[in-house]
Homo-oligomer: A and B are copies of this chain.
Amino acid sequence: MARTAPDDGHGTLLPSWRPGVTRDALVAFLDASSELPPERRLACFDNDGTLWAERPTYAQLDFFVDALGRRAEADPLLADRAEYAALLTGDTAALGELGLSRVAMALVELFDGQAPEAFTAEVRDFMSRADHATLRRPLRSALYLPMLELLDALRERGFTISVVTGGGTEFVRAVSSELYGVPPELVVGTAITYAYARDARGRPTLRRSAQLDGRPNEAEVKVSNIQAQLGRAPVLAAGNSGGDREMLEWATSGAGPSLALLVDHDDADREFAYVSAAATVAETEPVTDVARTLGWTVASMRRDWATVFPS
């Protein structure tokens, strides 16, 4: 790992961040955070595109398609369903016509009735063997090293770290401890409901349903769900897209030190270069423009990160 950060009085703090205004802003926040009472030291991180790569496809979609493939081998009739047929043949035109939300709910149905621990085991199996489509590394290592260093620096300063994802809560929980050191109760995501029943021996059991518990965890829903699950507002929030906007604004709306951090994917050589819109629904303004207007700290992958991925 390249250690390019000079000795600026902070030793080897954030070694994968290049010197500059972004690193200065992070170090200033870390220093100032000692003013905050311990119970306010909560930092919320989006996952896809903020802690791990989200291109060319979401890791959760890769997992779903892999699971679908294995189920379709055992039950070829599955391929008769329009959503599954489009996924199995990679028919992007058909997928576009069906729409992401209908396709996603069809995929959630694949796990209807599954015990939560079986779902977790299936995710862990996939993540232990899957490679990223283009980055020539295991999917589980397509994580951003500079962000992992930031998690560590925050933890050393008494912060609680939460992953606040638009992805499935239980999908991310299956790997959050191993990848980020974040226990399952600190993953806030899109949740499904559970069906409670007693088994043949009379013991309580839970099974996954195919229904969402509330709305997908994006935009203002992230704010409500953080309060509901974690019971307080963050003073640091990091994201990379319009779905993180309200969470970042919320983190910086209280008194005292706070930080909103936006990861800008502008590095086609080492990762990807793409523009995220400011909102999850049709809005053409790039989220980086919102960041400028609101005074967020922008991490340019190309400019600010000496190293992108762990070795």
Which residues on the B side are within 8 Å of A227 (C-beta)?
Answer: 116, 194, 206
Query: Does A280 have its Cβ within 8 Å of any Cβ on chain B?
Result: no
Partner of A223, one of B162, B177, B187, B204: B204
Partner of A213, one of B173, B194, B220, B228: B228
CA distance A15 to B227 in the complex (A): 38
Q: Interface readout for A143-166 with B: 1 if CB under 8 Å, 0 if not?
A: 000000000000000001010000
| Residue contact B169 to A250, C-beta cutoff 8 Å | no
- The majority secondary structure among interface residues of chain A is helix
| Residue contact B177 to A196, C-beta cutoff 8 Å | no
Query: Does A127 have its Cβ within 8 Å of any Cβ on chain B?
Result: no
From A19-27, A49-57, A128-136, A178-186, the one touching the partner chain is A178-186
| Residue contact A223 to B196, C-beta cutoff 8 Å | yes
CA distance A196 to B203 in the complex (A): 40
| Residue contact B116 to A250, C-beta cutoff 8 Å | no
Query: Does A246 have its Cβ within 8 Å of any Cβ on chain B?
Result: yes
Q: How large is the interface on A (under 10, 10 to 19, 20 to 34, 35 or more residues)?
A: 35 or more
Partner of A253, one of B160, B184, B203: B203
CA distance A232 to B253 in the complex (A): 33
Copies of the protein in its oligomer: 2
CA distance A185 to B193 in the complex (A): 19
Which residues on the B side are within 8 Å of A220 (C-beta)?
Answer: 196, 204
Q: Interface readout for A23-40 with B: 1 if CB under 8 Å, 0 if not?
A: 000000000000000010
Which residues on the B side are within 8 Å of A233 (C-beta)?
Answer: 117
Which residues on the B side are within 8 Å of A231 (C-beta)?
Answer: 116, 169-170, 173, 184-185, 187
Closest partner residue, chain B, to A230 (CB atom): B185
Which residues on the B side are within 8 Å of A184 (C-beta)?
Answer: 39, 230-232
CB within 8 Å for A204 and B169 given contacts A184-B232, A227-B116, A228-B194 = no
Which residues on the B side are within 8 Å of A191 (C-beta)?
Answer: 228
Query: Does A249 have its Cβ within 8 Å of any Cβ on chain B?
Result: yes
Closest partner residue, chain B, to A191 (CB atom): B228
| Residue contact A250 to B204, C-beta cutoff 8 Å | yes
Partner of A246, one of B160, B204, B249: B204
Query: Does A12 have its Cβ within 8 Å of any Cβ on chain B?
Result: no
8 A Cβ contacts from A212-271 to B: 213, 220, 223-224, 227-233, 246, 249-250, 253
8 A Cβ contacts from A193-216 to B: 193-194, 196, 203-206, 213
| Residues in A lying within 8 Å of B, measured CB to CB | 39, 116-117, 160, 162, 169-170, 173, 177, 183-187, 191, 193-194, 196, 203-206, 213, 220, 223-224, 227-233, 246, 249-250, 253
Question: When A and B form their complex, which 6 residue pairs have the shortest distance between CB atoms, in order from nearest?
Answer: A184-B231, A203-B253, A204-B250, A196-B220, A173-B231, A185-B230
